[in-house]
Amino acid sequence: MSTTRLRFAPAPTGSLHLGSARTALFNWLTARGTEGELILRIEDTNAELTRPELIDNIYRSLEWLQIEFDGEPVRQSERTDLYNDAVESWLSDDLAYVDDGAVRFRVPSDGTTSWDDVVRGNVVFENQNIEDFVVRRADGSATFFTANAVDDFDLGITHVVRGEDLVNVTPKVIMLRQALGAQDLPKFAHLPLIVNEQRKKLSKRRDDVALESYRDRGVLADAMINYLALLGWGPPDDVEVRPIEEIVQLFRLEDVNPSAAMFDVKKLEAINGDYIRAMKPEEFTEALIPWIANEPWNSLVDRDQLAQVAPLVQERTRVLVEGPPQLDFFFLESPEIEESAWEKAMTTPEAPLILESTKTAFASVDWSVASLHESLRAIGDSHGMKLGKAQAPVRVAVTGRLVGPPLFESIHALGREVVLERILRAQNKLDET
RNA sequence: GCCCCCAUCGUCUAGCGGCCUAGGACACCGGCCUUUCACGCCGGCAGCACGGGUUCGAAUCCCGUUGGGGGUGCCA
């Protein structure tokens, strides 16, 4: 028998919002940390929101985040009788009245309604500031207030953890719950809003709020969860990047910071980079495949070769989308040479000499990373250049860019034939100009 | 307008009356390492919004001001 029972109650309005994901997470953390239960409740009292595909998206996103629920989801659209009964009883007790076909709840004109919020402390509303609100629409459907109050009571919810934007509906829900005959109140915890750089609530219109869009760019679920946990909460020991199991142990609703938190993509990506670097090379290679599938050179990719070269860019990748562009030259027949790179590396007096020496040396050098390395180092030496300088023309000739994965490992993977051909190609291009 | 909430480095946070000349992380700036970039390491910049209290003592408690935000639908 569990002592705590929580619910995550999204309205199916399309893709899961970052704020909703954070709310789901904090509910989940609380449930896990207290060995309680967490149920998923779909708030689709509005007929327009009952479309199955909207709900599927929520399931998929929550599944991706590995936020699990106990029991089957509760669909409010399937509990209309319950809401009707409640409204009827309020009507017969004269707690509510009909107005233009809708039913409104009678709010007392004096007194106060308050609760002790877990994250904000005591919150008090003067009843006189609350209007009689609609509990049943003219079309007969229950409103959010009714469904919310009835379900939280009926489902035995002990902790209501939701966004701060719902603070002002809380007194209404409390009144309804009392009208239902409830003697107690659940613990309310209103989480700080997640805001953008303008300090405004993340909005669908202006901000990139869909969880999927981060997933699609190659943010890992574990990293996303870890980052989201840091929005409004911090571990007591200052260790921010850590396994979710540890966060479950450390997390306490009482420690949640009440002030709004800005969603910082840079930090998200930094944490994601940590997670990517922590992957096994094979895992990283595997994770990259869906992103490579989007590249025009996808059909040229050889899996074995990919397994060999992907790890070379692992620590250079913060989000998975950044992976493929760093690897294209391994697979493209004749990768394009970036103009700015060419300008920088090939217009020096030494460049042609280095290319020629390298071509000659590489034609017979032992094809190992160490020998390749030593060989080019020696060539650089003979021109009085450090390797850092000397490698530039070769890198541009072979990869088309000035920056990229470690050169000798790359050259090694490409093979002698390809490398010599690319050097020759660069020499030809040099001759043309 | 009315109601409600919030206020520590640029950002996310630690701090719950003395351990704070305020700690960590991201970002930024130096340096080291180095075959580029990155990673890693070392160092730096930078904050308790303001004013009153309370107290021997306040970032921490109270009040006010200012500034931000949220809500104000027969949406949720």
Closest listed residue to residue A287, CA positions, set A265, A315, A319: A319
Q: What is the pLDDT of residue A143?
A: 96
pLDDT at residue number A275: 98
Distance of C1' in B54 from CA in A253, Å: 30
What average pLDDT does this structure show over A332-358?
95
Residue range A211-233: average pLDDT?
97
User: What's the pLDDT score for residue A432?
Assistant: 85
Check if residue A115 sits with its Cβ under 7 angstroms from strand B.
Answer: no
**Which bases of chain B are contacted by protein, using any atom under 7 A from a CB?**
2-8, 10-16, 23-27, 34-40, 68-76
Cβ of A274 near strand B (under 7 Å)? The reply is: yes
Query: How far apart, in whole angstroms, are the C-alpha atoms of residue A101 and residue A209?
Result: 37
Q: Is the CB of A278 under 7 A from strand B?
A: no
Q: ipTM of this model?
A: 0.96
Stretch A400-412: mean pLDDT: 98
CB of A124 within 7 Å of some strand B atom: yes
Of A262 and A50, more confident = A262
Mean pLDDT of A188-209: 94
Nucleotide nearest to A164 (CA to C1'): B70
A166 touches strand B (CB under 7 A): yes
Beta carbon of A156 within 7 Å of strand B? no
Residue A405: the pLDDT is: 98
Burial (CB count within 10 angstroms: exposed 0-12, middle 13-18, buried 19+), residue A401:
buried
Asked whether residue A202's C-beta has any atom of DNA/RNA strand B within 7 A, the reply is: no
Whole-number pLDDT of residue A54: 81
Average pLDDT on A129-148 reads: 96
What is the tens place of the pLDDT at every residue in A19-68? 999 999 999 999 999 999 999 999 998 877 778 888 888 999 999 999 99
Torsion over CA: A78, A166, A125, A133 (sign): negative
pLDDT, mean of residues A350-357? 96
Domains along the sequence of chain A with CATH? 1-72+192-278 (3.40.50.620), 339-432 (1.10.10.350)
A 23-52: CB within 7 Å of strand B: 43, 45-46, 49
Region A308-320: what's the mean pLDDT? Answer: 98
How far in angstroms lies nucleotide B64's C1' from the CA of residue A259? 21
A35 sits in the region (left: phi over 0; alpha: psi -120 to 50; else beta) called left
pLDDT at residue number A46:
84
Residues A58, A315: Cα–Cα separation, whole Å: 32
Model confidence at A376, in pLDDT bands (50, 70, 90)?
very high
What pLDDT, on the 0 to 100 scale, is given for residue A139? 95
pLDDT at A1 over 70: no
Residue A51 has what pLDDT? 80
Taking only the tens place, the pLDDT of each residue in A100-122 is 999 999 999 999 999 999 999 99
A204 pLDDT more than 90: no
Q: How far is the CA of A240 from the C1' of B21 (A)?
A: 27
What is the tens place of the pLDDT at every residue in A69-80? 999 999 999 999
- Protein-nucleic contacts, chain A 377-406 to strand B, CB < 7 Å: 386-388, 391-392, 395, 402-406
How confident is residue A226, by pLDDT bands cut at 50, 70 and 90?
A: very high
Nucleic strand B within 7 A of Cβ A206: no
For residue A13, what pLDDT is reported?
83
Of A54-63, A187-196, A270-279, A301-310, the poorest mean pLDDT is in A54-63
pLDDT at A2: 58
- The pLDDT score that the predictor gives to residue A65 is 97
Per-residue model confidence (pLDDT) at position A261: 98
As a whole number, mean pLDDT of residues A184-194 equals 97
pLDDT, mean of residues A228-246: 97
Query: How many percent of chain A have pLDDT more than 90?
Result: 94
Å separating the CA of residue A210 from the C1' of nucleotide B14 = 30
> Distance between CA atoms of A394 and A403, rounded to whole angstroms?
11
Average pLDDT value over all residues in chain A: 96
Residue A155 has pLDDT above 90, yes or no: yes
**Over residues A2-19, mean pLDDT:** 91
A116 forms beta bridges with A122
Report the predicted TM-score, pTM, of the whole model to 2 decimal places. 0.96
pLDDT of residue A147: 97
Q: What is the SS3 assignment for chain A? A: CCCCEEEECCCCCCCCEHHHHHHHHHHHHHHHHCCCEEEEEECCCCHHHCCHHHHHHHHHHHHHCCCCCCCCCEEHHHCHHHHHHHHHHHHHCCCEEEECCEEEECCCCCCEEEEEECCCEEEEEEHHHCCCCEEECCCCCECHHHHHHHHHHHCCCCEEEEEHHHHHHHHHHHHHHHHCCCCCCCEEEEECCEECCCCCECCCCCCCCEHHHHHHCCCCHHHHHHHHHCCCCCCCCCCCCCCHHHHHHHCCHHHCCCCCEECCHHHHHHHHHHHHHCCCHHHHHHHHHHHHCCCCCHHHCCHHHHHHHHHHHHHHCCCHHHCHHHHHHHHCCCCCCCHHHHHHHHCCCHHHHHHHHHHHHHHHCCCCHHHHHHHHHHHHHHCCCCHHHHHHHHHHHHHCCCCCCCHHHHHHHHCHHHHHHHHHHHHHHHHHC
The neighbour count for residue A432, using CB atoms within 10 Å, is 6
Higher pLDDT, A188 or A206: A188
